[in-house]
Structure 1
Amino acid sequence: MISQYVYFALSSNRMPAAEITARLGIEPDEIAVRGSRLANPARPASHRWKITCRKPGLTVDEQINQVVSRLFDHAERIGELAAELDAIDGGPAASMLQVVRVFEHPDGEEEDLTGPVEGLEKLPGQHQLLGWHVDARVLDFLRLARAELDVDEYAYG
């Protein structure tokens, strides 16, 4: 069973998500406030503005495409703000496209073994959510938005 989601985030130690929203004119799906759970050391470690896709049944590349489609027309402006955030925070990585996958998650999607695919028999261990790719449009978005791609994969438990 696999549980997965994708998000694009802008993060800053100094600029709160509300200011990022005002600067971009795009409402986030989620935000994090630096130090809202723990002040010393600050957790979360930074303010974070996020656009997410948690829709089940989609492959990672379909989830990525949903997020990128929402933001592509704003990619250059996002990149300019990311460069500014990197400068005020003193380092790279303000802009990030994040993939999170958890294998053997009890709430994840079960492997679909019904019927052949393109005339080929399905065998156990070939989960329909395994495998994904990043197309040229997504690569253009990452470049314009000055974004890194980070993939975290975990085993449940």
Structure 2
Amino acid sequence: MLFGQYAYFVPESISMRASEIAARLGIEPDEAVIRGSRSPADRVIPAAHCWRVVCRTAGMTVDEQISHIVDRLFVHALQIGMLAAELDRTDGGPGSAVLQVVRVFGHPAGEPEDLSGLVDGLGKLPGQHQLLGWHLDRRTLEFLWLTGAELDIDEYAYR
């Protein structure tokens, strides 16, 4: 099976643009989204401005991708948490900061399952993709707590 995944951390807001978030944090994002930039006349799409630090590195497990993001942002966690709390108040609810994991099963550009070699002397069987399974370590949990972030995991099957 082909399998693709990536992770990102995002403060998002309906009122504060990504450029202002970057200025407030003193960190340039890897990606930025402008609220309503793809908007048809009757709906605002995307619904929020987003400032994102992203890890799309192939061959990394989700925990490794998340650790990469946390390593980049951990020293700014308290500052991010204060901004997220402000955005929660301004925008009317929790959820301004999110650690997002996106996984796509069967994506044609995904990574193939590695059935070569042995693991602890045992052969690998199909259906045990090397990117399946992950965990959050204490440092990541502390980062989520300090930033006031939610964890959101989206998993899709490619059609």
User: Same fold by TM-score, threshold 0.5 exceeded?
Assistant: yes
Superposition pairs of residues 129-144 of structure 1, within 5 angstroms: 129-144=131-146
Deviation at 1:40, TM superposition (A): 3.2
Partner of 1:74: 76
> Aligned AA for 2:123?
E
Runs of 4+ with deviation above 3 angstroms: none
Partner of 1:26: 27
Residue from 98, 103, 107 that aligns with 2:100: 98
What secondary structure sits across from 1:20 in the alignment? helix
> Does residue 11 of structure 1 match 2:8?
no
Deviation at 1:120, TM superposition (A): 1.7
Partner of 1:50: 52
> Aligned AA for 1:150?
D
What secondary structure sits across from 1:137 in the alignment? helix
Deviation at 1:119, TM superposition (A): 1.4
> Aligned AA for 1:133?
H
CA distance in 2: counterparts of 1:119 and 1:96, whole angstroms:
40
RMSD: 0.7
CA distance in 2: counterparts of 1:91 and 1:79, whole angstroms:
14
Deviation at 1:27, TM superposition (A): 0.4
CA distance in 2: counterparts of 1:118 and 1:28, whole angstroms:
41
Deviation at 1:47, TM superposition (A): 0.2
CA offsets, 1:100-152, max 9 Å, x none? 00001111000000010121211111000000000000000000000000000
CA distance in 1: counterparts of 2:68 and 2:80, whole angstroms:
17
Deviates more, 1:51-60 or 1:115-124: 115-124
Identity of aligned residues (%): 63
Deviation at 1:53, TM superposition (A): 0.1
Residue from 40, 43, 64 that aligns with 2:42: 40
- TM-score normalised by L of structure 2: 0.97
Partner of 1:59: 61
- TM-score normalised by L of structure 1: 0.99
Q: Extract unaligned runs of 5+ from structure 1.
A: none
What secondary structure sits across from 2:121 in the alignment? coil
Q: Extract unaligned runs of 5+ from structure 2.
A: none
